[in-house]
């Protein structure tokens, strides 16, 4: 089912999964202001729907997920405008991170600069074997501006992040898998099928539990351990007031499939 029409995106719902395709293949799906704003609107719309179990982000065409920010646009920015552009991208990345539903990056090709940052903001990355990742902003005399220096460091550690950001090197999918940047690497023709299958697996679990787990993992990561453990305990206990928890435990004891309602 196709939803609202966007200038730079294709958005549809298929098998209770929201699929957002960045549709600017003529510029390798580069991110400009309009595309960032449309992505925010599309994530908002899909995340608000109770019939959707997850969201997949991908890029149109065989070459790129997102090859970066629109360089023509970047080259014209003043210092204040560059700050606003960075903030706009950063706001989108936080919206993806705080979505109540899991968001999967289906990286089908180049994920560079802002494209790598977009993928990093998703819950996890499933990549085509042809995918390539990098933060090559130093080649333009700038640094990542949508959170790349921070999310990459939290995922890979400071040493590897320094290496990637300082050199601007572009790395292959197998390297990204080895270092933990992506969760899986699959053949290009299997990429979307695998992403849909993962969302289908998640959809069989308690939706409130998945949502709470996402929030605790995200928000607790930067807290001191004791504070993060307290957050986990609070979330764990709050789920005991839900019908889903009672249904899940009852179904387990009765040796049947749980029928979760999200309440």
At residue 17, the 3 state secondary structure works out as strand
Biggest CA pair distance of the chain: 64
Q: Which of 4, 137, 184, 189 is catalytic?
A: 137
**DSSP secondary structure string for all residues of 226-259:** HHHHHHHHHHHHHGGGSHHHHHHHHHHHTTS---
Q: Which of 72, 117, 178, 254 is catalytic?
A: 117
Annotation says 84 is catalytic: no
- Do residues 187 and 129 touch, judged by C-beta distance below 8 A? yes
Annotation says 137 is catalytic: yes
Q: Between vectors from CA 158 to CA 156 and to CA 159, what angle results, nearest 5°?
A: 90
Q: 26: how many CB neighbours lie within 10 A of its CB? A: 9
Residue 218 to residue 166: CA distance in whole angstroms:
27
Q: Are strands 103-107 and 54-59 parallel, antiparallel or unpaired?
A: parallel
Which residues are within 8 A (CB) of 100 and not within 5 positions of it... i.e. 6 or more apart? 47, 211, 214
- Do residues 123 and 214 touch, judged by C-beta distance below 8 A? yes
225 burial type by CB count under 10 A (0-12 exposed, 13-18 middle, 19+ buried): exposed
**Residues with a known catalytic role:** 117, 137
């Amino acid at each position: 089912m196709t939803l609202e029409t966007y200038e730079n995106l294709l958005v549809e719902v298929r098998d209770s999964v929201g699929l957002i395709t960045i549709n600017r293949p003529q510029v390798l799906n580069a991110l400009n202001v309009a595309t960032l704003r449309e992505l925010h609107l599309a994530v908002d719309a899909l995340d608000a729907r109770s019939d959707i179990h997850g969201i997949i982000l991908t890029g149109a065409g065989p070459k790129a997920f997102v090859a970066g920010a629109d360089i023509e646009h970047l080259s014209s920015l003043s210092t204040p405008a560059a700050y606003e552009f960075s903030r706009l991208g950063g706001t989108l990345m936080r919206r993806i991170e705080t979505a109540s539903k899991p968001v999967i990056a289906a990286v089908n090709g180049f994920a560079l600069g802002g494209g790598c940052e977009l993928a990093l903001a998703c819950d996890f990355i499933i990549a085509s074997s042809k995918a390539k990742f990098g933060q090559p902003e130093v080649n333009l005399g700038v640094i990542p501006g949508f959170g790349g220096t921070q999310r990459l460091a939290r995922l890979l550690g400071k040493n590897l992040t320094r290496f990637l950001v300082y050199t601007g090197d572009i790395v292959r999918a197998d390297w990204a898998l080895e270092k933990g940047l992506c969760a899986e690497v699959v053949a290009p023709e299997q990429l979307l099928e695998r992403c849909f299958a993962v969302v289908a697996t998640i959809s069989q679990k308690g939706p409130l539990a998945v949502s709470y787990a996402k929030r605790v993992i995200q928000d607790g990561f930067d807290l001191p351990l004791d504070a993060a453990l307290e957050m986990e305990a609070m979330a764990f206990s709050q789920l005991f007031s839900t019908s889903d928890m009672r249904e899940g435990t009852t179904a387990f004891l009765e040796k049947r499939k749980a029928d979760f309602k999200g309440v």
